[in-house]
Amino acid sequence: MKKVSRVQSFVQWSLVLLLSLVYIYPLYMLLVFSFKKNENMFSSAFGLDGGFHLSNYVEAWTRSNFEVALLNSGVISITSVLVMIMFGAMASYPLARRIGRLSSFLSLFFVAGLIVPMQLNLIPLFQMMIGLNLNHSKLGVILLYITFGLPLTIFLFTGFMRSLPRELEEAGQIDGSSPTGIFFRILLPLLKPVASSVFILQFLHIWNDFFLPVVFLNTDKLRTVQVAVYSFAGRYSNDWSHMFPMIVICVAPVMLLYIFLQRFIISGIMSGAVKG
């Protein structure tokens, strides 16, 4: 039995090591390329032929006006996610607690929003944004992200809300709390695991999204980090020595956020999925 367990342990650790290499390799290549000049970019895939050029980061940051793009992405991502979490949490409360045809219909209605891709609605969305004077506006893009992110947010919050015992609300009612007070004082603090999961998932999506910013925010003052990175791509050639440093800067905040909050992802999603 000990030999079998040792073999299983060896196989498991070998698979973990192999998968780790698969994920670490692209990050390593990204870092190596970010310190190279264009003329040395493909001379050696693993080495730093031509020297270690930290100036790539400074030049790319200055040329792309990246601090503006970083601020725009941060404002759009954080504002969209926070509003999304609040609306999703409030909508999930009646959907999870009330039993009836209307509640079931609304739940299916929100889930159906996951089926329709954002790109399918581009033309009517563009016309609507122009009609509301929200084109080339951060507010307009924030509203779009909230709209298209709410179905998944409500779905996750509703599943988690159903796993919470009703006795908590009954105790609040006995103490004289209103439904609003029960939600904000008792239930909302218990939603931290699923709220963290939603924050990570939606923040990653919005931060990495290229489609909406390039359509609605394609100006120098409103561009996001993804559009700023794309500015180094030309029709006939790409400025790799400045593009790769900007990709590293784009990836770094997302990786740090995921590292610090990764333990909430599975717990937040699985709690509602298993018990709901």
pLDDT along the chain (276 residues), means of 10: 69 86 85 81 67 80 85 94 93 84 81 80 87 89 93 89 82 81 86 86 90 86 88 72 86 81 64 47
Report pLDDT for 270: 57
Which phi and psi angles does 233 have, rounded to 5°?
A: -95, 125
DSSP string, 40-90: GTTT-SSS-TT---THHHHHHHHHHTHHHHHHHHHHHHHHHHHHHHHHHHH
**Predicted structure pTM score:** 0.82
Alpha carbons 33 and 43: distance in angstroms, whole number? 11
Judge whether 157 and 166 are in contact, CB under 8 Å: no
Strand-pair partners of 238: 233
Report pLDDT for 268: 57
Smallest Cα–Cα separation from 195: which of 43, 92, 112?
92
Domains of the chain: 69-275 (1.10.3720.10)
DSSP-based three-state secondary structure for 238: strand
Which phi and psi angles does 42 have, rounded to 5°?
A: -115, 15
Report pLDDT for 146: 94
